[in-house]
Amino acid sequence: AQSVAQPEDQVNVAEGNPLTVKCTYSVSGNPYLFWYVQYPNRGLQFLLKYITGDNLVKGSYGFEAEFNKSQTSFHLKKPSALVSDSALYFCAVRDTGRRALTFGSGTRLQVQP
Protein backbone atom coordinates (compact mmCIF):
# COMPACT_ATOMS: atom_id res chain seq x y z
CA ALA A 1 0.00 0.00 0.00
CA GLN A 2 1.10 3.54 -0.61
CA SER A 3 0.53 6.46 1.76
CA VAL A 4 1.43 10.10 2.26
CA ALA A 5 1.66 12.14 5.44
CA GLN A 6 1.56 15.91 5.64
CA PRO A 7 2.19 16.53 9.33
CA GLU A 8 1.21 20.22 9.38
CA ASP A 9 -2.39 21.31 8.82
CA GLN A 10 -1.24 24.91 8.40
CA VAL A 11 2.03 26.74 7.82
CA ASN A 12 2.31 30.46 8.43
CA VAL A 13 5.14 32.51 6.96
CA ALA A 14 5.82 36.19 6.39
CA GLU A 15 6.10 37.49 2.85
CA GLY A 16 9.70 37.40 1.64
CA ASN A 17 10.71 34.63 4.03
CA PRO A 18 11.55 31.10 2.89
CA LEU A 19 8.83 28.48 3.20
CA THR A 20 8.82 24.71 3.65
CA VAL A 21 5.81 22.40 3.46
CA LYS A 22 6.58 18.91 4.69
CA CYS A 23 5.68 15.54 3.15
CA THR A 24 6.68 11.98 3.94
CA TYR A 25 5.63 8.93 1.96
CA SER A 26 5.49 5.16 1.97
CA VAL A 27 5.49 2.97 -1.14
CA SER A 28 6.50 -0.59 -1.89
CA GLY A 29 8.46 0.21 -5.04
CA ASN A 30 10.20 3.26 -6.45
CA PRO A 31 8.20 6.42 -5.76
CA TYR A 32 6.84 8.93 -8.22
CA LEU A 33 6.21 12.06 -6.12
CA PHE A 34 4.11 15.11 -6.93
CA TRP A 35 3.07 18.45 -5.47
CA TYR A 36 -0.21 20.11 -6.39
CA VAL A 37 -1.74 23.41 -5.25
CA GLN A 38 -5.44 24.13 -4.84
CA TYR A 39 -6.95 27.60 -4.70
CA PRO A 40 -10.45 28.12 -3.23
CA ASN A 41 -13.22 26.45 -5.24
CA ARG A 42 -10.73 25.30 -7.86
CA GLY A 43 -9.23 22.04 -9.03
CA LEU A 44 -5.65 20.96 -8.39
CA GLN A 45 -2.82 22.65 -10.23
CA PHE A 46 0.39 20.67 -10.90
CA LEU A 47 3.55 22.23 -9.43
CA LEU A 48 6.35 19.69 -9.83
CA LYS A 49 7.27 16.01 -9.78
CA TYR A 50 10.13 13.67 -8.95
CA ILE A 51 10.55 10.54 -11.03
CA THR A 52 14.28 9.90 -10.98
CA GLY A 53 17.54 11.81 -11.19
CA ASP A 54 18.53 14.91 -9.21
CA ASN A 55 17.13 15.02 -5.70
CA LEU A 56 16.30 18.73 -6.05
CA VAL A 57 13.40 19.28 -8.42
CA LYS A 58 12.41 22.71 -9.71
CA GLY A 59 8.82 23.49 -10.63
CA SER A 60 6.37 26.25 -11.40
CA TYR A 61 6.22 29.70 -9.73
CA GLY A 62 9.65 29.39 -8.08
CA PHE A 63 8.79 26.28 -6.08
CA GLU A 64 11.22 23.40 -5.65
CA ALA A 65 11.20 20.15 -3.73
CA GLU A 66 13.89 17.98 -2.24
CA PHE A 67 13.68 14.20 -2.47
CA ASN A 68 15.32 12.34 0.42
CA LYS A 69 15.20 8.58 -0.02
CA SER A 70 16.61 7.68 3.40
CA GLN A 71 14.06 9.86 5.19
CA THR A 72 11.28 9.04 2.67
CA SER A 73 10.52 12.74 2.42
CA PHE A 74 9.68 15.16 -0.36
CA HIS A 75 9.45 18.63 1.18
CA LEU A 76 8.23 21.59 -0.87
CA LYS A 77 10.28 24.78 -0.63
CA LYS A 78 10.42 28.31 -1.92
CA PRO A 79 13.19 30.82 -1.13
CA SER A 80 10.91 33.86 -0.85
CA ALA A 81 7.17 33.54 -0.18
CA LEU A 82 4.52 35.71 -1.83
CA VAL A 83 1.08 36.56 -0.45
CA SER A 84 -0.32 35.01 -3.64
CA ASP A 85 1.23 31.66 -2.64
CA SER A 86 -1.45 31.35 0.07
CA ALA A 87 -3.39 28.20 -0.85
CA LEU A 88 -3.84 24.51 -0.02
CA TYR A 89 -0.91 22.27 -0.97
CA PHE A 90 -1.13 18.54 -1.56
CA CYS A 91 1.66 16.01 -1.79
CA ALA A 92 0.92 12.82 -3.76
CA VAL A 93 2.71 9.57 -4.45
CA ARG A 94 2.43 6.78 -6.98
CA ASP A 95 4.67 3.75 -7.18
CA THR A 96 5.81 2.21 -10.42
CA GLY A 97 3.30 -0.62 -10.23
CA ARG A 98 0.18 1.50 -9.80
CA ARG A 99 -1.67 4.20 -11.67
CA ALA A 100 -3.62 5.87 -8.85
CA LEU A 101 -2.26 8.87 -7.01
CA THR A 102 -2.48 8.74 -3.22
CA PHE A 103 -2.75 12.20 -1.69
CA GLY A 104 -1.91 13.58 1.71
CA SER A 105 -4.49 15.48 3.72
CA GLY A 106 -3.15 18.83 2.59
CA THR A 107 -1.35 21.75 4.20
CA ARG A 108 -2.79 25.24 4.19
CA LEU A 109 -0.09 27.83 3.53
CA GLN A 110 -0.82 31.32 4.81
CA VAL A 111 1.62 34.05 3.75
CA GLN A 112 1.22 37.24 5.72
CA PRO A 113 2.08 40.62 4.19
Partner 1 sequence: DAGVTQSPTHLIKTRGQQVTLRCSPKSGHDTVSWYQQALGQGPQFIFQYYEEEERQRGNFPDRFSGHQFPNYSSELNVNALLLGDSALYLCASSPSTDTQYFGPGTRLTVL
Binding site for partner 1 (CB under 8 A): 4, 34, 36, 41-46, 49, 90, 92, 98-106
Nearer to partner 1, 19 or 23 (CB): 23
CA dist., res. 54 & res. 101, Å (int): 22
CA dist., res. 106 & res. 54, Å (int): 25
To partner 1, the closest distance from the beta carbon of 69 in angstroms equals 21
To partner 1, the closest distance from the beta carbon of 87 in angstroms equals 14
Nearer to partner 1, 15 or 46 (CB): 46
Nearer to partner 1, 13 or 89 (CB): 89
What separation, in Å, do the N-terminal and C-terminal C-alpha atoms of the chain show? 41
Contacts of 84 (CB under 8 A, 6+ apart): 111
Nearer to partner 1, 70 or 99 (CB): 99
Is the alpha carbon torsion for 28, 26, 69, 21 positive or negative? Answer: positive
To partner 1, the closest distance from the beta carbon of 13 in angstroms equals 22
